[in-house]
């Protein structure tokens, strides 16, 4: 079993497949997976060569073999998967002569689509597509499942769950990061590692997108967070071109030297991706064969880090105290209760945004009310919240069905509030933490109630920690709440809580959380008591307080404490908050107070519609566009470039702007005014490539900047693009490609455009491209991200960046 070797012995993967197929005659637009049936001898020979080169794992030719991506009327999906696995197995028989233990890996790649809310693919539909191929792979005899080249945490979660729930095979997952350590959808290394380890993958890492040298800083960061074995599969450097042929600039011997360094840094499984060949793998094996015992290698030690995450942000507990915003909770809140009854989702979103703006790091989410379908509403609210905020969420419910519904579709590693020392509670909650991953709050109460003493609560905490071990849940994923009782009825309540807090931290080394405001129930001027107790709790080791971040008193205590304890370097945050203006309490923006610019920046669609409808009563539509809409989109775009705004927020802002534009368009039609004629832009994913995520993102943004986008779709022949450009007299064409096997089509499209419509400019983008390659194929502009493409279009058509 490969699991017996993981972390103890260096494991070798194979290298790239696409470039080898091209060398053997794969045509642009031809589905590589069909070769498993139509060119089986070639696939067997490729597997043989990799095993002969020293690979322990060779992957099946199934990267695009899923129902959402593979469409071929001649072959059924089950035939393709079965043949692909059999071909690798046959290659092993021919290529392995030394009797060593080898493995056949089922290769699972991305669907090529964005999941909701960013795209149109439902999470469960993605799950079903991955589940089908996973089952087929296991039935065909695969030894493990390798999910790779993923750029979206949500999609990889669907794939991992599908593999885990539908097979008994080991599951590996690797992501494609950019040079800043970010995924396409905004995820960073800590958030990715936290989620994948929470989902119990057997190994994780990075593949594709860059060469071995460029991957080293990303690997170093992964090793700071990952406790499971780490996989590294670089490209053979960067793509180049000579005499019309694509090649990569890292030769086998140099690749071997780089991979020896990657091994030394702490990788446990190494191989190659695009551009690597059996020669590269042979050189890699030769350079590392004397270092296969990795038992004592650096980077393999257990990482005792308590991390919760969203799709794009990780929050680590245990150092500087963190703030959990408490306002998305109906307890004691009449307006919030009414919003839940009225299904006023925008009210909930405004509460989230106001807490984020006020300084919260995590948001508690509780929607429990009698006569409400809590599982359905919790699921919806979590999805909607994740479309407007990148803050991690704490799922707060006693309804186990609601908890599972939310955890399943949550994009990241959530905080879960809560489990307690009752056996029934632990039996219900711990299986969900094991399955979906999460940091769970453990309440120190059990069948006998809440212990009156600090020692009693510490004992319950120990009981929770020990029971969690039975499920493989480490104490780093448990945060203890020693509970605080109101001092109005229990005079020693604060003293007991603070002592229990200190003891739990010292005895078990776990993080701790408290619902701070409970301390003051029944007392006048509660903020004074709450804020002072909050400071005392932080001094006693509180890792995160569940508080109202809109409370001036609480936030003053927080910023003061952080400054005094040197958590706030040079008192920068304190000065930022209190240095230049009189302190005022923050309140959530109401519909009447919110501006259209704010609604768009925050991605609030209903608010954008309502505010625009009011504005047009007194203001010209074109003035609203120029003074409100475009500045808002520019602000969001700048945030995206700086890394302070993530892709989901960018797209939600675009949706809000689209709704506002629709209102204004109707008003323009009524008044007889007309919009300025729109400049046309063609977008297409090139022939042979069926990945259109990047193209679709650029389309949304261009349309919101008033460009007329002609979307030709994916797998588009050069001739169709050229004909459309001539027919529509288009001055700008945008081309996208994800696969290295299809960049030749991109170059051919540019060549034809230069010949038949030379005045037309071409911008290109995609994971396999870079500035050098863009220059080599003759493009006019390389769009590193979607906003760069918008700025180029504005410049070309006379606008300003």
**Domain holding 651: CATH number?**
1.10.1240.10
| Domain identity same for 548 and 617 | no
The answer to pTM > 0.85 is: yes
Q: Which of 25-39, 205-219, 474-488, 786-800 has the lowest mean pLDDT?
A: 786-800
The answer to whether residue 192 is domain-embedded is yes
| Domain identity same for 104 and 225 | yes
- The mean pLDDT value for 274-290 works out to 97
| Residue 801 predicted with pLDDT over 60 | no
- pLDDT for the residue 71: 84
The answer to whether residue 120 is domain-embedded is yes
Count Cα neighbours of 94 within 13 Å in the Cβ-side half-sphere.
15
d(C-alpha 379, C-alpha 333), whole Å: 21
| Residue 585 predicted with pLDDT over 60 | no
Exposed/middle/buried for residue 518 (C-beta within 10 Å: 0-12, 13-18, 19+): middle
* Helical axes 605-615 vs 647-671, angle rounded to 10°: 30
| Domain identity same for 555 and 687 | no
**Domain CATH for 707:** 3.40.50.280
| Residue 103 predicted with pLDDT over 80 | yes
| The domain boundary residue, chosen from 671, 702, 735 | 671
- pLDDT for the residue 390: 93
| Domain identity same for 617 and 523 | no
| Domain identity same for 555 and 663 | no
Per residue in 518-576, pLDDT (tens digit) is 999 989 999 999 999 999 999 999 999 999 999 999 999 999 999 999 999 999 999 99
| Domain identity same for 107 and 174 | yes
**Domain CATH for 173:** 3.20.20.330
Tally of domains within the chain: 4
The answer to whether residue 310 is domain-embedded is no
Domain with 196 in it: 2-291
pLDDT, greater one: 576 or 688: 576
In the sheet with 171-175, reading across from the earlier edge strand, the strands are: 11-12, 269-270, 230-233, 203-207, 171-175, 144-150, 103-108, 57-59
Beta bridge partners of 394: 364, 415
Identify which of 785, 745, 749 has the alpha carbon closest to the alpha carbon of residue 767. 785
| Domain identity same for 194 and 329 | no
| The domain boundary residue, chosen from 640, 671, 702 | 671
The answer to whether residue 722 is domain-embedded is yes
Per residue in 704-717, pLDDT (tens digit) is 888 999 999 888 99
Numbered residues of the known binding site: 208, 273-274
Numbered residues of the known binding site for Zn(2+): 208, 273-274
Identify which of 784, 779, 753, 778 has the alpha carbon closest to the alpha carbon of residue 766. 784
| Domain identity same for 341 and 396 | yes
Per residue in 385-434, pLDDT (tens digit) is 999 999 999 999 999 999 999 999 999 999 999 999 999 999 999 999 99
């Amino acid at each position: 079993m490969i699991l017996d070797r993981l972390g103890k012995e260096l494991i070798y993967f194979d290298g790239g497949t696409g470039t080898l197929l091209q060398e053997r005659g794969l045509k642009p637009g031809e589905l590589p997976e069909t070769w498993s049936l139509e060119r089986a001898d070639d696939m067997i020979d490729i597997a043989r060569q990799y095993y002969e080169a020293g690979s322990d794992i060779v992957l099946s030719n199934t990267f695009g073999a899923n129902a959402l991506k593979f469409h071929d009327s001649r072959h059924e999906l089950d035939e393709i998967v079965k043949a692909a696995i059999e071909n690798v197995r046959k290659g092993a028989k021919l290529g392995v002569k030394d009797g060593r233990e080898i493995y056949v890996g089922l290769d699972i790649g991305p669907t090529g689509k964005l999941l909701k809310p960013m795209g149109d693919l439902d999470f469960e539909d993605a799950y079903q597509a991955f589940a089908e191929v996973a089952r087929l792979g296991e039935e065909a005899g695969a030894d493990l499942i390798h999910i790779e080249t993923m750029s979206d945490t949500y999609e990889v979660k669907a794939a991992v769950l599908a593999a885990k729930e539908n097979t008994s095979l080991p599951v590996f997952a690797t992501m494609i990061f950019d040079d800043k350590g970010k995924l396409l959808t905004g995820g960073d290394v800590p958030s990715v590692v936290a989620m994948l380890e929470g989902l119990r993958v057997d190994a994780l890492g990075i593949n594709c997108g860059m060469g071995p040298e460029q991957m080293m800083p990303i690997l170093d960061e992964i090793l700071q967070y990952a406790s499971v074995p780490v996989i590294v599969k670089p490209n053979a450097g960067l793509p180049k071109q000579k005499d019309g042929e694509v090649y990569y600039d890292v030769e086998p011997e140099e690749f071997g030297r780089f991979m020896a360094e990657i091994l030394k840094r702490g990788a446990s499984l190494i191989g190659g991706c695009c551009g690597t060949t059996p020669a590269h793998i042979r050189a890699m094996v030769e350079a590392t064969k004397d270092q296969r015992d990795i038992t004592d290698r650096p980077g393999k030690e257990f990482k005792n880090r308590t991390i919760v995450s969203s799709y794009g942000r990780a929050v680590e507990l245990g150092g500087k105290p963190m703030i959990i915003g408490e306002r998305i909770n109906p307890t004691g809140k009449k307006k919030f209760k009414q919003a839940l009854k009225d299904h006023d989702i925008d009210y909930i979103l405004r509460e989230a945004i106001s807490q984020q703006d006020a300084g919260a790091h995590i948001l508690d989410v509780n929607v429990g009310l009698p006569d409400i379908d809590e599982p359905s509403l919790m699921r919806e609210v979590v999805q909607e919240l994740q479309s407007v905020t990148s803050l991690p969420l704490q799922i707060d419910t006693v309804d186990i069905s609601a908890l599972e519904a939310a955890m399943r579709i949550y994009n990241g590693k959530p905080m879960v509030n809560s489990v307690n020392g009752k056996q029934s509670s632990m039996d219900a909650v711990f299986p969900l933490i094991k399955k979906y991953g999460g940091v769970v709050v453990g309440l120190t109460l059990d069948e006998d109630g809440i212990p009156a003493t600090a020692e009693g609560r510490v004992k319950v905490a120990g009981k929770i920690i020990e029971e969690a071990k039975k499920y493989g849940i480490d104490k780093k994923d448990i945060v203890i709440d020693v509970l605080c009782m109101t001092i109005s009825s229990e005079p020693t309540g604060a003293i007991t809580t603070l002592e229990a807090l200190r003891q739990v931290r010292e005895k078990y080394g776990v993080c701790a959380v408290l619902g701070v405001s409970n301390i003051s129930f029944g007392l006048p001027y509660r903020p004074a008591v709450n804020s002072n107790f909050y400071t005392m709790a932080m001094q006693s080791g509180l890792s995160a307080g569940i508080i109202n971040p809109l409370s001036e008193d609480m936030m003053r205590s927080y910023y003061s404490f952080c400054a005094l304890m040197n958590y706030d370097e040079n008192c920068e945050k304190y000065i930022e908050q209190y240095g230049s203006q009189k302190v005022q309490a923050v309140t959530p923006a109401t519909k009447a107070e919110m501006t259209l610019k704010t609604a768009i920046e925050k991605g609030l669609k209903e608010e954008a519609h309502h505010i625009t409808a009011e504005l047009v009563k007194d203001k010209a539509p074109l003035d609203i566009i120029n003074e409100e809409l475009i500045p808002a989109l520019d602000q969001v775009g700048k945030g995206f470039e700086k890394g302070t705004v993530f892709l989901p927020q960018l797209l939600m802002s675009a949706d809000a702007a689209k709704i506002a534009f629709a209102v204004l368009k109707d008003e323009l039609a009524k008044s007889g005014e007309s919009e300025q004629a729109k400049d046309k832009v063609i977008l297409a994913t090139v022939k042979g490539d069926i990945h259109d995520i990047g193209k679709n993102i650029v389309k949304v943004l261009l349309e919101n900047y008033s460009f007329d986008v002609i979307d030709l779709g994916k797998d588009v022949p050069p001739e169709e693009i050229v004909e459309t450009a001539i027919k529509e007299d288009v001055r700008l064409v945008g081309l996208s490609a994800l696969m290295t096997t299809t960049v030749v089509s991109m170059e051919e499209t540019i060549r034809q455009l230069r010949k038949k419509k030379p005045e037309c400019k071409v911008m290109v983008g995609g994971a396999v491209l870079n500035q050098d390659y863009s220059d080599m194929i003759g493009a006019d502009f390389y769009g590193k991200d979607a906003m760069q493409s918008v700025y180029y279009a504005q410049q070309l058509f006379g606008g300003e960046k």
